[in-house]
Amino acid sequence: METYKTITKIKDPLITVTGVENAMNGDMCIINSGGTEMLGEIITAYGQDAVVEAFRPLRGLSRSKLQVTCTGEIFSIGVTEHILGRAFDGLGRVTDGGKLVPEKKTIVYGSPINPYVRDKPKDFIETGISGIDCLNSLVMGQKLPIFSGSGLPGSDIAIEIVKNAKTRKDTKFAVLFGAMGVKDSEANKFTDLLDGKNGDRTAVFINRASDSIIERITLPKIIMTHAEYLAFERGYDVLVVLTDMLSYADALRQLSSERKQVPGRRGYSSSLYTDLATIYERCGKIKDLKGSITLIPIVTMPSDDITHPVPDLTGYITEGQILLSRDLFNRKIFPPIDVLGSLSRLMDNGIGKNFTREDHRQVANQLYFAFSKGMDARNLSALIGENGLSDDDKIYLKFLDDFENKFIRQQPGEPRSIEETLDLAWTIMKDLQSLPRIEKNIIEKYGKK
Amino acid sequence: MVAKVLAINENTIIAAGLENSHVGNLVRIGKDKIFGEIVSVSGKETSIQAYEDTNGIRINDEMEDLNEPLSIELGPGLLTNIFDGLGRRLSALNSNFIARGATLISLDRQKKWSFKALKKKDDTVESGDVLGEVKETALITTKILVPPGIRGKIIDISSGEFTVNQNIAELKDPEGNSFKLNMIQKWPVRMPRPFRSKLNLHDPLLTGQRVFDTLFPIAKGGTVALPGGFGVGKTFLEHAFAKFSNTDISIYVGCGERGNEMAEVLNSFPSVLDPHSGKSIMNKMVLIANTSNMPIIAREASIFTGITIAEFYRDMGYSVLLTADSTSRWAEALRELGSEMGEMPVEEGFPSSLFSSLAAFYSRAGVVDTLGTDKKSGSVTIIGAISPPGGDFSEPVTQTTARLADSYIELDSKLAGERHYPPVNWTNSYSPLSGEIQQFYKKNIGPDFFTYVKRLLDLLHESDKINEIASIVGREALPDKQAAILRLSDIAKLFFLQQNAFDEEDAYTPIEITYKMMNILTSFIDKITSMIDSGAKYSDIKSNPIWERMSDLKHATALDKLEKDVNALGMGKTK
């Protein structure tokens, strides 16, 4: 470890140090200023000059008091199973006052999974939300974002999922929850997760809006590093929920402008895609290993615009999306899941006889079918009035109301098992004259309950 | 003087002591020996792009110039395998995560191949001539060629069991130099492999996807731009091309895409049977996997690694399809590299060299007469998927590719939203065909093939116009003929253009069946429109059971009966 006092330049969050011997790219540094310490990382080195990026704002620090110590290590964190039930900040430091003894240290940047050993995502994760479980099922190893809008309850849905998600196998299950750039009012809701049901299988990582942006950027890397340890070394099925990726990307944009990088679309760095991918792609399953990493990133779409770079690039990397609807939200339906705009590409790998129930796929198809009939009927009735509808259309209109008010609508804290969800689907379909998307024997078995 | 690291900034490394090295050479850096490529030399400073993560590299770390550009080993053992963007065989890495600095070996050194010599001692051979062959997979016999730049008299050759790096022949050229040849040809990926001459496109590439084989046919040796926003089913379509096309070899480059997608390919492709031979399609496949979280210059290289393998099989006289998913990610790699190198950004931050870079890739497609005295002709077809940001087709990569590619096939998110797969937009897409290919269709498939195609396109365009009106006045208020046309176009979309990739029968349609379907469909269209033209009321004919029966179009076994019934239409009663 070498300590340098030769600071030539400070420009928040960057410090230029000179006279550094054999500077190492990625070296973790301890920045000390008259007693206060913070971490930093060498991001550029040229000859004897090294540029250190500080993880906390440098405001109020004077050049003469600063000293920088190079540790000679790449940014690492201690990993252990005992993170469960605990709370952390964006740098992975315990914030609940207690101590944590790590099993070992791991570099946070990860390495790409060898595509040859990747296993296909399979097996069902029950979120307890009918609109997801039945129609856009989440599969172990999948990454399925929730596209929210400002004011829409993206993080409330995240909380429900963190509390209630479960697997249907007898395996170790852990939920890691990361919140980036959240308001103080929300932050408490998130830490409360640890006290509630399933708190002991959950860890929360919180970076508040007022916290450092660098820690906002490190948070997902730290969470994914823990997830990899739990999944691939300890055999857990890990569900990671990250909110809000827009705050993450905005922090990245701010940093890249401070680093004077060429801005791309809407000012985001041209490397945003790669950057998001290095988080999202750490999900998956590996052949011959027990665990899995599943990811639900919450992405706020500014002005509900799905073509905004963050949701757009996310959509290109993830396997589907859950889209929230402002219309349902305005009608006070929670969770406001836009059925037609949502899609889980890997759904078929995780449902059916071996995973949920044999009628699942057909029930989902039938619901989609009846839903679009119901929408047609609703559009028509807006033109000609409900009285002008045919009897058939009226049935579908009634179905649509039930679908939205009984099936999609759910009280927070009242998760449904997949059996309850499917049974409920049969209940709201019972007035339909015919169920063309479901085979007869399935109707016999499940429809007559 | 030992070369040393002077500066590090993300993936860019500045080195001293390499001022005499060639641009494009590979270097290995630091104690982890990570790979990099020399991209520019200026004064005493040499700029290097690292292929791998640069964390842990120190100032003054030593580096080694490998004195060769990024190359891939070509030879038996490529087929059925999966490689990363740098050509490393991923199954040989023996690790769950890709560690840095793993050596660049593509071909299995242990495996013995049964080499059958086709030339004998004292024969005189030229570059490109077939020395012998190896049965590489159940489907493909790999020809062992005299490498480019070498010719002479065979002084030794023998059949037998050899590994790829054992000598199988020895040549002596007229100048007296002798060459010992094994089955590996190491080739720099950015350098096109030589051929004798480029030919006109004369063979259709049949995909088994009806909308392509009819409305927008592709030629062997052609280039196709395939743009589509996320969620339009682009990947499924590309998988279908890779699986079912009538080319000898299929190369799939996952460039900056999802790791789970490659897992899906690796899991599902082995059990898919090639419709032309009945054997697993893996026998004719090579996969290149560069997932989105691998370093960007490796992503940039992956496309060239793929096309070099394609040219290698082309040179044996095979037809090769290269599917690249997605060229947008590749262009973004160029953009990131350009920005790191301080290149002047133009449109949307892409470097001004975007056109020439894309051209360097697409111009490697084509039908060629290969080198060698034994007259072979092979082809490389490129299908380049494009992922336009926000689904906006006016962006630079889509537009630049459209200028370079022969065919432009737009995937429409609106159609995809209606679950119309494959969601090919029939108004904006185009795929002009050479006279030779039109002749091929007329001669081998049906003389009126293109008449039917035109009839279908006309119907679709007409129905689009009517739909605009219908969205204002409602379908009920349309005049008879327009109502009939809308319903006819619904039938054409549902039972002909839409194809279900999950349905075993529907996933692939041989061209003869497609032709027959089109024949029945267009005569149905003609019958109905002429009935209406001659005064029949739509309300009278709309409940004719024949409308429902048109769903039989999708069942090859029901086609004969359907054809009869359609032909009988209007002969007797019309109600």
d(CA A19, CA A68): 12
* Residue A121 contacts B, CB cutoff 8 Å: yes
Residues of B in contact with A284 (CB under 8 A): 259-260, 263
pLDDT digit string (tens) for A114-155? 999 999 999 999 999 999 999 999 999 999 999 999 999 999
Q: Are strands B12-16 and B124-125 parallel, antiparallel or unpaired?
A: unpaired
Nearest to A178 by CA among A222, A146, A145, A138: A222
Element at B356 (helix H, strand E): helix B354-362
Q: pTM for the whole thing?
A: 0.91
Alpha-carbon separation of residue B15 from A42, B30, B59, B339, B369 (angstroms): 18, 12, 9, 19, 43
Residues of A in contact with B58 (CB under 8 A): 22-25
Structural domains in chain A, CATH included, are: 2-74 (2.40.30.20), 82-349 (3.40.50.12240), 360-447 (no CATH)
Contact A82, A101 (CB under 8 A): yes
Mean pLDDT of A162-183: 93
What's the pLDDT at B572?
56
Instruction: Report residue A19: phi and psi, to 5°.
Output: 80, 20
Tell whether the torsion through CA atoms of B169, B173, B178 and B180 is positive or negative.
negative
d(CA B315, CA A135): 49
- Asked if the model's pLDDT at residue A163 lies above 90, the reply is yes
pLDDT digit string (tens) for A370-389? 998 899 889 888 877 888 78
Q: Rounded to a whole number, what is the distance in Å from the CA of B58 to chain A's nearest CA?
A: 4
The angle subtended at Cα A104 by Cα A103 and Cα A110, nearest 5°, is 125
Residues of chain B with pLDDT under 50: 573-575
Nearest to B35 by CA among B2, B57, B17: B57
| Nearest 10 degrees: Cα torsion B307, B308, B313, B315 | 110
- Number of A/B CB contacts below 8 angstroms equals 176
- Asked if the model's pLDDT at residue A294 lies above 90, the reply is yes
d(CA A23, CA A44): 9
Structural domains in chain B, CATH included, are: 3-68 (2.40.30.20), 108-183 (2.40.50.100), 197-430 (3.40.50.300), 449-568 (1.10.1140.10)
Q: Which residue has the tokens 């002749």?
A: B439
Q: b/e per residue, B384-404, with b = 16+ CB within 10 A? A: bbbbbbbbebebbbbbbbbeb
More confident residue, A240 or A189: A240
d(CA B333, CA B300): 6
Report CB contact under 8 Å: A44, B96.
Answer: no
* Residue A266 contacts B, CB cutoff 8 Å: no
Residues 273-292 of A with CB under 8 A from B: 273-274, 277-278, 280-284, 286, 289
Q: Are strands B249-257 and B71-74 parallel, antiparallel or unpaired?
A: unpaired
Report CB contact under 8 Å: B8, A25.
Answer: yes
Selecting from A264, A281, A383 the residue whose C-beta is nearest the C-beta of B259 gives A281
**Burial group, residue A2, by CB count within 10 angstroms (0-12, 13-18, 19+):** middle
Q: Rounded to a whole number, what is the distance in Å from the CA of A70 to chain B's nearest CA?
A: 12
Residues of B in contact with A120 (CB under 8 A): 260, 263-264, 267
Is the ipTM above a cut-off of 0.95? no
Contact A343, A365 (CB under 8 A): no
CB count, 10 Å around CB of B153? 15
Single-letter amino acid code for the residue at B390? G
d(CA A296, CA A277): 14
**Burial group, residue A415, by CB count within 10 angstroms (0-12, 13-18, 19+):** buried
What's the pLDDT at B566?
92
B107 torsion bin: left (phi>0), alpha (psi -120 to 50), beta (else): beta
Q: Which residue of B has its CA nearest to A275?
A: B293
Q: DSSP 3-state helix, strand, coil percentages of chain B (rounded to 5)?
A: 35, 25, 40
| Spatial CB neighbours of B371, under 8 Å, sequence gap ≥ 6 | B126, B127, B128, B129, B145, B148, B194, B195, B196, B315
Of chain A, the percentage scoring pLDDT greater than 90 comes to 74
Report CB contact under 8 Å: A116, B91.
Answer: yes
CB count, 10 Å around CB of B530? 11
* Residue A176 contacts B, CB cutoff 8 Å: no
DSSP assignment, residue B444?
H
Alpha helices in B373-448 (DSSP H): 396-404, 413-417, 435-444
Structure tokens at B560: 């004969």
Nearest to B513 by CA among B530, B527, B499, B525: B499
* Residue A45 contacts B, CB cutoff 8 Å: yes
Q: What single string gives the DSSP state of each residue in A117-163?
A: GEEPP-SEEE-S-HHHHTTS-EETT-B--EEEETTS-HHHHHHHHHH
* Residue A340 contacts B, CB cutoff 8 Å: yes
Selecting from B14, B260, B348 the residue whose C-beta is nearest the C-beta of A284 gives B260
Report CB contact under 8 Å: A121, B260.
Answer: yes
Report CB contact under 8 Å: A113, B474.
Answer: no
- Asked if the model's pLDDT at residue A217 lies above 80, the reply is yes
Q: Which residue of A has its CA nearest to B99?
A: A111
What's the pLDDT at B573?
47
What's the pLDDT at B174?
92
Report CB contact under 8 Å: A114, B391.
Answer: no
CB count, 10 Å around CB of A76? 17
Structure tokens at B325: 């998913």
Residues of B in contact with A274 (CB under 8 A): 256, 292-293, 296, 332, 336
Report CB contact under 8 Å: A307, B392.
Answer: yes
pLDDT-wise least confident of A168-177, A386-395, B447-456: A386-395
The beta strand positions in B56-140, using DSSP E, are: 62-69, 71-74, 82-83, 113-117, 124-125, 130-135
A270, A279, A342, A393, best to mutate vs chain B, most B CBs in 10 Å: A270
d(CA B496, CA B553): 7
What's the pLDDT at B417?
77
Report CB contact under 8 Å: A115, B336.
Answer: no
Q: Which residue of B has its CA nearest to A312?
A: B390
* Residue A196 contacts B, CB cutoff 8 Å: no
* Residue A24 contacts B, CB cutoff 8 Å: yes
Single-letter amino acid code for the residue at B218? I
Contact A201, A230 (CB under 8 A): no
Selecting from A264, A273, A278 the residue whose C-beta is nearest the C-beta of B348 gives A264
Report CB contact under 8 Å: B90, A114.
Answer: yes
CB count, 10 Å around CB of B438? 15
Residues of B in contact with A111 (CB under 8 A): 53, 97-100
Contact A220, A252 (CB under 8 A): no
The angle subtended at Cα B46 by Cα B42 and Cα B49, nearest 5°, is 125
Of chain A, the percentage scoring pLDDT greater than 70 comes to 100
Q: Which residue of B has its CA nearest to A139?
A: B260
Single-letter amino acid code for the residue at B453? V
d(CA B15, CA B8): 9
Cα distance from N-terminal residue to C-terminal residue, chain A: 72
Contact B299, B254 (CB under 8 A): no
Selecting from A47, A119, A141 the residue whose C-beta is nearest the C-beta of B7 gives A47
Residues of A in contact with B262 (CB under 8 A): 115, 118
Q: What single string gives the DSSP state of each residue in A35-85?
A: TEEEEEEEEEEETTEEEEEESS--TT--TTTEEEEEEEEESEEEE-GGGTT
What's the pLDDT at A449?
59
**Burial group, residue B572, by CB count within 10 angstroms (0-12, 13-18, 19+):** exposed
Element at A245 (helix H, strand E): helix A245-258
Mean pLDDT of chain A: 92
**Cis before A335? omega within 30:** yes
- Asked if the model's pLDDT at residue A194 lies above 60, the reply is yes
CB count, 10 Å around CB of B269? 19
Contact A310, A267 (CB under 8 A): no
Selecting from B96, B345, B389 the residue whose C-beta is nearest the C-beta of A309 gives B389
d(CA B572, CA B575): 9
Residues of B in contact with A20 (CB under 8 A): 59
DSSP assignment, residue B130?
E
What's the pLDDT at B575?
40
d(CA B443, CA B447): 6
Q: Which residue has the tokens 């002991």?
A: A200
pLDDT digit string (tens) for B276-325? 889 999 999 999 999 888 888 889 999 999 999 999 999 999 999 999 98
Report CB contact under 8 Å: A119, B263.
Answer: yes
pLDDT digit string (tens) for B137-150? 999 999 999 999 99
Calculate Rg over the CA atoms of chain A. 25
Selecting from B10, B97, B254 the residue whose C-beta is nearest the C-beta of A114 gives B97
